Each structure stands twice: as C-alpha cells, then as structure tokens.
Amino acid sequence: MSGALLFAIAGALVLGLALHGFITSSSLLRRLMAFNMMGSGVFLVLVGFAQHDRGADALPQALVLTGIVVAVASTALALLIFRRWVATTGSTTLPEDG
Amino acid sequence: MTMLIFDALLGATMLVAAYGALYGRNDFRAVVMFVVFGLLLALAWVRLDATDLALAEAAIGAGLTGALLLDTVGFLRSQPVKAGEAEVVRQQRLHSGTVSSVLSALASAGVAGALIFALVHDAPFRAGGLADTIVRETPRSGTSHPVTAVLLAFRAFDTMLEIAVLLAAGLVGVAVREPGRATALATGDRLAVSSPILDALVPRLIVAMILIGAYLLWAGSYMPGGAFQGGALLAACGVLLALTGPATLDMDEQFRIRLLLCIGFTVFLAVAWAGPLQGRAVLMLPAQSAGAIILLIEAMLTISIAAILYSLFVNAPSSPLTTSARGSQ
C-alpha cells in the first residue's frame, strides 16, 4: 500500500459520499457542492492511481489541472443560473423535488 | 511509515470535512466545511508531489469557489424565500421513504466499493505510464517544467479546447445576466460594510495579489505555476474588489470586457493555425521561439481566465441588500 494508492482510495470514498449527498439533498446549492466534491474524488483517483509505486506523473496532473479550472468555471456558471432561478421563483429547489 | 499514517489521517479528515459539507446543518456551515475540504485536498496534492494542483486547489477549489459559494449564501439570506420552504425540505428528508434512502445508500456504496476493489486489485498489475517519456521530451518543448510542457506543448489541443469551454461558460454568463437591470456591482455599488481595516488592507492586498499572479505566470515556465493559478488569483483579486468595492471595474464597457474574455482563445487559435501556414503541423511551435510563444499564450490565457471567472461572478444577480443600501442613501 503506497501513499498514492491510499489517496486514490480516499478519492473513491469521497466520490461515493458525495454521490449519496447529490442523490439525497433537494437543495440545489448542496447538490452543486456535492457535484464539485464528486469531481474532486475523481481527480484524486486519477492522480493517486497513476502515481502508485512511482514518482510524480505530469500527464494525469496536467489533466486534473485542466479539470479543476473547468470545474470552477462550470460552478460559477451554475451559481449564476441558480441565483437567477432563486430571484425569479423564490425557491432553492426544483419543482419535481416538491 | 510515519508519512503513511499522516496520509491516512489526512484522507480520513477529508472525508469528515466532505460529510460536513454535504450534510451540515445550514448552508453557511456546509460552505465553510467545503472550503476546509478544499484546503485539505490541497495538502493531499502536496503529498502526491503535485505542487501545480496544490496551488490551483488552494486558489480555486478552496479560495475562489468558496468565495462564490459564500456570496451565494449571503444572496440566499437576502431573498424572500417561500414561506415554509426550509420546513418542507427538512420534512422531505425525513419522509423520503425507506426504500429510496436504502437504494441511494446502496448505489453510492456500490460505486465507491467497486472502484476501491478495482484500484486495489489492479494496482500491482498496472502497465507503465508516460512519465518517463514526458521527462525525456520536456527539454525539447520550450519549457523546463513537465506539467507546463504537457499543457502547452504535448497536449496543447486539450488546453485550447479548455479555454474554449471557459469562453463558452463566460458567454452564457453574459447572455443569462438579467436584462434591463444592471447588476449592482456593475453600477459601482459597494457593500454596506465598511471598516478602516478593510479600507487599509484591500489596496495593499490587491497589489500583492497582482504581483503574485504575475509571478505564478512567469514561474510556470520552469517550476510549478502557470496560467491557471495566476488567472485564478487575478480573478480572486477582482472578486475581492467587487465585494469590498473601493474601486469597481466598469462592466458596462462591454466591448473591452468581451475582448478580454476571448483574447486567450483567439491568440491560442492564431498560434495553432500559424503552424500550417509556415509548413508545420497544427499547434506545432517553431523550435527556436517555442518558449516565448508558450509564455505569450500563457499570458493571454491568464487574462482570459481571470476575466471569465470575474465576469461570471459579477453577472450573477446580486443581493438587494447592496442595491437598497445605495437606493436609500
């Protein structure tokens, strides 16, 4: 068991936990945060698994760096749409959630 | 062995923070735990020898995303939320039914369990990656930092499409902004909060942040750092300015703002197609000036990333607190 594999496993656990939060919460804000954390879990799996029993690997690191930046842009966009939704409807959830 | 214990503890703490962010009692607590999670994740990147990711995570995952989420929590508090909605949400969670809660728990545990099984089972048999090739070829790329070489030389196409995705997000943000009503930030509104400490600190912080952002950009050519980290820091700088408001950038100058949004993608595209015009492949850089061109692309990317993230922030509907505070003056 290397430290890198340990972080990959932690990433898998974060992914599972965040997936559960994503399914069970009806607040759109919480869902967005859960979605973000699912991404973080995937990033940990990507880099941790690739670097298991060997040193730093620039390829998965560059991939994940791209992923982090795209994640923040999509989060900012989702927050913008969410705030317009709240301003328009006065609700923080979607209709089918009640 | 000691470090393995530290890693295990760090992983466990991350899970606790993630739990707090997902199931925290109110949104404010959840966002704070989210920021804590981001900072712990930055530490995990350091332990994985991924300094680039640690820098990006601290600036973006914890810093910028945290600020955006916190601002949204403030916005939610200012909104007249439908009566009894919080109650409805709580009730719903209580009465969501045993079957569906068991199913969702099983599904998430299954995903995590299967993934962990695959990781542990396949780890010993993993074939070699490209790490050695990248280290060997990096000196030919025009930069001496492997991650920058992957981003802007070996896999430059990915990075070009990434800035295209960011540009698309920024443009949607511009399109979705409320017509007619300029956002409060655009009209130069400032928070009702004002304190001598804030007034003295913000201008000095801004100078430091711009300097560090420029340094990160420059450092990217030979050590961890680069356009993403620098751009995120500049965007955070803009968000800080917009929130405290000693001087707001004028978003009404639409043309200039749009120029900033798209300059990164435009320059990248121009460089990509300069190759075929001079008898090289698309995105192939001339060997003697590759370093300078990479730095140019990175500088433009930094500007665009900062402008896109900033405009996404200021184009969001802002809380009426700031607007009404101004209206009553």
Residue B199: the pLDDT is 79
User: Given this model, what pLDDT does residue B325 score?
Assistant: 38
Provide the b/e sequence for B66-98 (b: ≥16 CB within 10 Å).
Answer: bbbbbbbbbbbeebeeeeeeeebbeeeeeeeee
Percent of chain B at pLDDT exceeding 90: 42
How far apart, in whole angstroms, are the C-alpha atoms of residue B25 and residue B82?
19
Helix (H, G, I), strand (E, B) or coil at B194: coil
B305-316 pLDDT tens trace: 999 998 888 888
Most confident segment among B161-165, B245-249, B318-322: B161-165
Q: Which two tokens stand for residue B271?
A: 């460089």
Mean pLDDT, to the nearest integer, of B127-145? Answer: 85
**With bands split at pLDDT 50, 70 and 90, how would you rate the model's confidence at B253?**
low
Distance between A93 CA and the closest CA of chain B, angstroms: 9
Backbone angles phi, psi at B184, to 5 degrees: -55, -35
What pLDDT shows up at residue B187? 44
| pLDDT band per the 50, 70, 90 thresholds, residue B168 | very high
Q: Which helix (H) or strand (E) holds A41?
A: helix A28-50
Question: What are the structure tokens assigned to A35, written together?
Answer: 């979605």
A60-96: string of b/e by CB count within 10 Å (b at 16+)? Answer: bbbbbbbbbbbbbbbbbbbbbebbbbbbeeebbbeee
CB contact, 8 Å: A23 with chain B? Answer: yes
A94 in reach of chain B (CB within 8 A): no
B281 at interface of A, judged by CB pairs closer than 8 A: no
- CA neighbor of B30 nearest in space, from A94, A56, A92: A92
Highest-pLDDT range among A1-10, B30-39, B66-75: B30-39
Question: A24-40, pLDDT tens digit by residue?
Answer: 888 899 999 999 999 99
Q: What pLDDT score was predicted for residue B92?
A: 54
The confidence band for B328, taking pLDDT boundaries of 50, 70 and 90, is very low
Q: Give chain A positions within 8 Å (CB) of B47.
A: 3, 7
Burial of B289 (0-12, 13-18, 19+ CB in 10 A): exposed
CA distance A40 to chain B (A): 8
The shortest CB-CB distance from A80 to any of B7, B56, B173 is to: B173
Chain A contact for B313, CB < 8 A? Answer: yes
Quote the CA–CA distance of A38 and B177 in Å, as a whole number. Answer: 28
pTM of the entire predicted model: 0.88
Is B161 in CB contact (< 8 Å) with chain A?
Answer: no
**Which value does ipTM take for this structure?**
0.95
Phi, psi of B77 (to 5 degrees): -65, -30
Measured CA to CA, the distance from residue B21 to residue B35 in angstroms comes to 9
Residue B137 CB neighbours (<10 A)? 15
More confident residue, B141 or B110: B110
A29: its two tokens: 């804000």
> In the structure, how many helices (H) and strands (E) does chain B have?
14, 0
Structure tokens, B120: 């542990």
The per-residue pLDDT for B74 is: 86
> If you search the block for the tokens 């945060």, which residue do you land on?
A33
Q: State whether A65 and B228 contact (CB < 8 Å).
A: yes
Report yes or no: A59 at the B interface, CB cutoff 8 Å.
yes
